[in-house]
Amino acid sequence: MSKVNLLTGAGRGMGVDIARAALAAGHHVIATGRRPDVIEKTLGSQHDNLLAIKLDITQLDEAKAAVKTAITRFGRIDVLVNNAGNFFAGYFEEISPGQMRQQIETNLFGPMNVTRAVLPAMRKQRDGHIITISSAAGLIGQEFCAAYAASKFAVEGWMESLRYDVEPYGIRTTIVEPGFFRTELLVDASTTWPALSIDDYAPRTAPMIQTWKAMSGRQTGDPAKLAKALVSIVDQETPPQRFVAGADAIDGVEAKARELLKQVMGSRELGGELSHGAGV
């Protein structure tokens, strides 16, 4: 069955692959981004099922306007794919407070804005599916990723809790945790390097930047395959609450789960005692 998909970050990278896969499957796609002309040029303006709309996800008014335009054109929104995001790399102390706020603004408040704009329509329909692209870094912290991991860990908590809010209205949720895919996340338009410089970190910062830059375009994951997998999830009657994508992400999340269980068991004796007795 053809569904109406609203997709953010459709101008480049993974968003292009998701839009193409959805269109190829016969779905309607409202492809949003800062440059709708670029979206049309990339995806082809001849598609009857495609509507390109300008949307800066950090602006709630633009999100509401995009939803209104989409519903006027297609009558409903069945699926929201929160895909837009960026990457502020660096050691925590070298990331300026302003950069940290920008990271959270885009990767957390951005999808929150679009979801807030879409939910009234989905509640009215008593049907819908919200998919938010997180990252393996939303479950596993790592060096040089303090800002990015903070934003994605926050996305995980928000989406995991949102599920309970919207399930009574027939709205399903899926969090997607990709590993390293050949998207455009590491190109200059999506990646911001540390604004500050601290002598203690200097011997590590420069090599780390070069390491990350060298990964761009060489990641093991195929974004076209991930896009097709997401379209198949959209078609499922009971979609997964989490979708860990890529062998590297699966291995990493399994290791993290074992580590968490070990830490929980290590806390049992002292932590468990805190629940007993009258307290202070």
CA-nearest of 75, 150, 144 to 108 is 150
With 0-12 / 13-18 / 19 or more C-beta atoms within 10 angstroms meaning exposed / middle / buried, residue 180 is middle
Rounded Cα–Cα distance for residues 41 and 198 (Å): 43
Q: Report the SS3 class of residue 114.
A: helix
Catalytic residue numbers?
134, 148, 152
The encoded tokens of residue 37 equal 């002309």
Could you tell me the two tokens for 218?
């060489």
Which helix (H) or strand (E) segment holds residue 37: the answer is helix 36-43
Strands 28-33 and 4-7: what pairing?
parallel
Q: Tell me the C-alpha distance between 60 and 49, whole Å.
A: 25
Query: Please, is 267 exposed, middle or buried when counting C-beta atoms within 10 Å of its C-beta (0-12, 13-18, 19+)?
Result: exposed
Amino acid at 42: T
Q: Which residues contact 162 (CB under 8 A, 6 or more apart)?
A: 115, 130, 173
